[in-house]
Structure 1
Amino acid sequence: MTATAPSDHLRDDPPRGAGQAADAAGLAGFGYRQELHRSMGRYASFAAGFSFISVLTTVFQFFAFGYSFGGPRFFWTWPAVLIGQLAVAACFAELAARYPISGAVYQWSTRLSNAVFGWYAGWIMVLGQIVVVAAAALALQVVLPPVWSGFQLVGTDTSPLSSDGAANAAVLGIALLVLTTAVNLLDNRVMSLVNRVGVTAEIVGAVLIVVLLFAHADRGASVTVHGGGAGGGASALFVGAFAAAYVMIGFDSAGEMSEETRQPRRVAPRTILTALTAAGVLASLLVLAALLAAPSLTDGRLGTDGLSYVLTSRLGSGLGRALLCDVALAVAVATLAIQTSATRMLFSMARDRALPFSGPLARVSPRTGQPPAPALVVGGLAAALLLLSFASPDAWLSIGTTCIVMLYLAYAMVTGPQLLRRLRGRLPAGTDESGAPLFSLGRWGVPVNVLALLYGLTMAVNLAWPRAAVYDPSGGHWYFQWFSPLFLLGTLAIGAAWRLRNAPQAAESGAEAGTGAGTGATVAGAVAGGGFGEG
């Protein structure tokens, strides 16, 4: 079934007032009232996806880990992961054009399958996003102490693998979460401005780092084939791929912010793909440049100090520290963007009365256009997770990989039903706000969708596999070795318990809400009659 939203036949560049009215009418077609302020343009949408990925944050955070297992050959995991994630992003771009709604993964999975399956996808996704917020905040530890020793507030060892470093990472991370939560409580135009400025600074800084490191290269690219440092065979490369897998997530944030984006059917699909492509290419070049410019591949420093060591040793302490300040800004903006994305997921599920305490979580401030309760919940839970770093330095890796596993599974809970829907027919057609056909993979849809699903499931299993050498190298903390499977099982158990107790009442309450604030039609009602059909 194909249904065209009221905004589908707008001319290319309508006046802003008329365009936003049409966008709001399109949202009403799905049963939701326009409550979030629709103020984001194309670059802001791109920034939402790019800042979640945050090349500088994640490459600096996980370079040492990837190199310690894969050696120079771990460079090839980056283009491999980029290809797999581009397949996922292309599938998501199709859905962003057809369903420009906050709570992207939750909304898409629900409309592709059913309300129960979609609820579990959203539940896994939102808890995974909260873990990502905590993992991103931990990245300050790899950049701030090298800038100034005064940032090492706990002990003297700055390595995040040490007890001092892990504890200090938690302190810095919690301080950052206080800041990002405060920004998320301000007007969404302020949040968007901070995001755009931060992304611009990150792109400029990343390009500058790549150029400078290539200018200081001591060896050729053949080192990525022949080795020359640490690392083992294929199994080690599968572990080394964790770094790239962690970097290239969150591109769906451009779809997550659809209700705040002007002309979302036209803008979101393009920004999903461009954000991932730009970040993936830039990250791959950054890794390659670091390998070619590193003072040594065998002295052990790349596997412990990572990119901070390369910058300060090759570019001098002055320039190196200045660039590390740019990386610190990128970490802050990434944490802000991820927290914002998680708040939108909480908000989207809550307005369908699909979460505990849905009333407060679904409330949007008319003044700021922000849902304040979700921002406080995400910030508080992420800060609580950071306290695990006081227990053991192994916690940071468990937190980092767990969030990736959760997001990869949630992604598969979209691409799986999407493939089934595609095999049964075709995705609904239509036009975007400019009158052009909605983004579509056409005849490439099935093979790309198959690749996206197989890649996502394979990577999720690879990440969650309880390798003692990876998750509990010092021994004595078996729960970190099994942290990802246990966290996932706990997530499903808590979700199932809540649904058994509250879902029938929630569904009845949602049905009775009629045209209430943002719940004109619950997602369950929207899919009951047509599955994948539009509201």
Structure 2
Amino acid sequence: MSLVDNLPDDIADKSLRPYGYNQVFRRDLKRFASFAVGFSFISITTGIFTTYGTVLGAGGPLGIWTWPISVIGQLFVALVFASLSSRMPIAGYSYQWMSRLANPKIGWLIGWVAFTFLIVVTVSVDYAIASVTLPDLFNFTATPFNEWLITAFILVIQLVLILFSTKWSTRINNTAVGTEVVGIVGLTLLLLIVGIIRGGIHFDHLFSMGTVSATGYFNLGTLTSVGPFMFSFLLGAYTIVGFEAAANLAEETQDAHNVVPFAMWSAVLLSGVVGFFFLVVLNLTSGNIAALTRSGTPVADIVTQTLGTVVGDIFLVLVTFSIFACGMVAFITATRLVWAMSRDERFPGYQLFQRVDPHTHTPLASTIMCGVLMEVVLAVFSTQPGTLTNLFSASSLLPVIIYMATVILYILTRHRLPPALRFTLGVFEWPVIILALVWLLFELSIFRDASFSTPWLYSLVMVGIGLLYFVYLWIARPQVLQVASLNKEEPEISGAEL
């Protein structure tokens, strides 16, 4: 039991007062639910079904060996975030942490980049359903129009669910964790067993470059390009993100000081192990690599060709449900970040977006606003060629920026951190921090490739819009950017009061 979160409601509500806030959400999320949030946001199902085809085209089957490196790198990052969340379990994660460790101006900038990321990643996840799983499941040809229409409809369904109740959204998400684990583990085992029985196992595919030339394969590239193997790191860069969603729901979590840190690093570790075995088996049962490289749905093709239509469709249903839950968690995370920034009067229209409905216990206005903006972003990306690639590339670039800024500021301001209540890195703190930073610098270098021009453009346009509002705040309402929180109505509470 932590110091505050498992105490009676009248006392636990005081746990946010040291940060300048009052408790407004119900603490409905328990250990499994918190883990489920991080695990569902990572969603190895979503990441692998979305990016495996890109890896086949860019680096061939050999590209999957970037996965273990990505998982280890992201695990170091998750441990740094776990240390921060244990000390400051507040909605808004990096926005809140940086506002307190550095200053509210830097915190605001990080918060806006995080908001930009959450909007586009929700769209990218839902778009994967329309372009990767449903076409094979219902045997239709994906077109830009029907992909846009289906994705837009999925966003509306998620919006309604989130508006209705956090509890119902959590139940769906908890179920999705089960379907994802059962789906991926079951799918991995079935593919392997059936492949062995039918003689369809290709060990040579584990280290095959497929249709990719061996010339310069491991080359680091130039100032505007990267080599095939390095490009394949997108597989892990897109998938192993979002574990920090558990921290963003800390104010709705019981025993948050203890539960949230565990939820983040364990979600990364489990996702990494299960995902790697799935990737290995996909390579082993991949069959005609050239045909799969040309396909828009290579994972679904492998499943159907190996297991047959009926069994393949059953697993595709489970996969679709898991991807849907991933998109919903990303959606919820975006609404909570908007609410957290609005609570501090730092988000456009904060007067409206800081309200929490007393009946549903959800921030209705911020949820609707996020949904509308997601539809706009979807419409913009849908008009461009390579929609899915652009979406998941933008969704990979932005978290790297957020993670790196957070780790750097952690290094610079760690002496100002409040004491850890449950989770601590101890003597491993500096090795973990350094390895996390090295990994993130390497990961960011991948995005110098010219093919990422559209994701960079999206990021710059959204950040530019945010900077206009930031300048307005700085000039017209400078007091808003002076202190970590503006809700200092209650006195800080001491350990004796807890």
TM-score above 0.5, yes or no = yes
Partner of 2:223: none
Equivalence map 1:380-399=2 (5 Å)? 380-399=372-391
Contact 2:60–2:208, Cα closer than 8 Å, also in 1: no
- Which letter maps to 2:13? A
1:4 aligned partner: none
1:224 Cα offset (Å): 2.6
Q: What code does the residue aligned with 1:120 have?
A: L
Shift of 1:171: 1.2
Give the corresponding residue for 2:147.
169
* Structure 1 segments unaligned to the other structure (5+ residues): 1-6, 159-163, 432-437, 468-480, 527-535
SS of the residue 1:29 aligns to: helix
Of 369-378 and 317-326, the range deviating more from structure 2: 369-378
Equivalents in 1 of 2:369, 2:250: separation in Å? Answer: 22
Counterpart check, 1:332 vs 2:358: no
CA distance in 2 between counterparts of 1:327 and 1:76 reads 23
Note the alpha carbon deviations across 1:41-98, whole angstroms, 9 max, x for none.
0010011101111111221111111111111211111101001100100000001100
User: Structure 1 stretch 453-462 or stretch 366-375: which is displaced more?
Assistant: 453-462
Structure 1 Cα separation of the partners of residues 359 and 489 of structure 2: 25
Deviation per CA, 1:119-161, whole angstroms, max 9, x where unpaired?
1001001111100011011011211111113xx4xxxx43xxx
Find 2:350's aligned residue among 328, 336, 358: 358
Given candidates 306, 313, 317, the residue that maps to 1:321 is 313
- Which residue in 1 is equivalent to 2:138? 148
Residue number in structure 1 paired with 2:300: 308
Change (3 A) 1:303 1:75: farther
Query: Is 1:442 the equivalent of 2:426?
Result: yes
1:183 to 161, 166, 191: 161
Label 1:82 to 1:21 Cα distance change in 2 as closer, same or farther (>3 A).
Answer: farther
TM-superposition CA deviations, 1:152-177 (whole Å, max 9, x none):
4xxxx43xxxxx2x332211110100
Q: What's the offset of the Cα at 1:199? A: 1.6
Equivalent residue, structure 2, for 1:472? none
CA offset at residue 237 of structure 1? Answer: 1.4
Alignment partners' CA distance in 2, 1:513 and 1:260: 21
Match of 1:264, as an amino acid? A
Find the counterpart in structure 2 of residue 285 from structure 1. 277
Amino acid of the structure 1 residue aligned with 2:154: L
**What is the distance in 1 between the residues matched to 2:235 and 2:480?**
44
Instruction: Determine the C-alpha separation between the residues in 1 that align with 2:153 and 2:103.
Output: 40
Where does residue 344 of structure 1 map in the other structure?
336
Partner of 1:470: none
The letter for the 2-side match of 1:144 is L
- Residue 501 in 1 paired to residue 472 in 2? yes
| Inter-partner Cα distance in structure 2 for 1:76 and 1:492 | 34
Unaligned runs of 5+ in 2: 219-226, 493-498
2:13 equivalent in structure 1: 24
Change (3 A) 1:509 1:240: closer
Per the TM alignment, residue 188 of structure 1 is displaced from its structure 2 partner at its CA by: 1.3
Whether the aligned pair in 2 keeps the contact of 1:35 and 1:366 (CA below 8 Å) is no
Equivalent of 1:486 in 436, 447, 457: 457
Say yes or no: does 1:198 pair with 2:180: no
Structure 2 partner of 1:52: 41
Contact 2:64 2:235 in 1 (8 A): no
2:251 pairs, out of 243, 259, 265, with 259
Distance (whole Å) between structure 2 residues aligned to residue 504 and residue 26 of structure 1: 33
- What SS is found at the alignment partner of 1:354? coil
* Paired AA for residue 272 in structure 2: G
The Cα of 1:301 is off from its aligned counterpart by 4.6
Tell whether the 8 Å contact from 1:412 to 1:456 is kept in structure 2 after alignment: yes
Change beyond 3 A, Cα 1:353–1:145: same
Do the aligned partners of residues 79 and 458 (structure 1) sit closer, same or farther apart at CA in structure 2, a change above 3 Å counting?
same
Aligned-partner Cα distance in 2 for 1:430–1:139: 39
**Higher mean C-alpha displacement, 500-509 vs 241-250:** 500-509
Structure 2 counterpart of 1:130, one-letter code: I
Partner amino acid, structure 2, of 1:175: F
Q: Match for 1:459: what amino acid?
A: E
Give the whole-Å Cα distance in 1 for the aligned partners of 2:234 and 2:430: 27
**Offset at residue 20 of structure 1 (A):** 4.0
Residue 224 of structure 2 aligns with which residue? none
Give the drift of 1:360. Answer: 0.8
How far, CA to CA, are the matches of 1:405 and 1:48 in structure 2?
21
The structural deviation recorded for 1:269 is 0.4
Instruction: Give the CA deviation at 1:451.
Output: 1.8
Tell me if structure 2 keeps the 8 A contact 1:57–1:139: yes
Q: Equivalent residue for 2:114? A: 125
2:438, 2:11 → 1: CA distance?
38
Contact 1:72 1:229 in 2 (8 A): no
Q: Deviation of residue 220 (structure 1)? A: 5.6
Report the equivalent of 1:402. 394
How many residues are matched? 476
Q: Identity over the aligned pairs, expressed in percent?
A: 26
Amino acid at match of 1:219: I
Amino acid aligned to 1:192: T
Provide the alpha-carbon RMSD of the alignment: 2.4
TM superposition shift of 1:498: 1.1
- Measured after TM superposition, the shift of residue 278 of structure 1 is 1.1
- Structure 1 residues 426-441: aligned runs within 5 Å: 427-431=417-421, 438-441=422-425
- Normalising by the residue count of structure 1, what TM-score does the alignment of the two structures yield? 0.84
Q: Which amino acid aligns with 1:241?
A: F
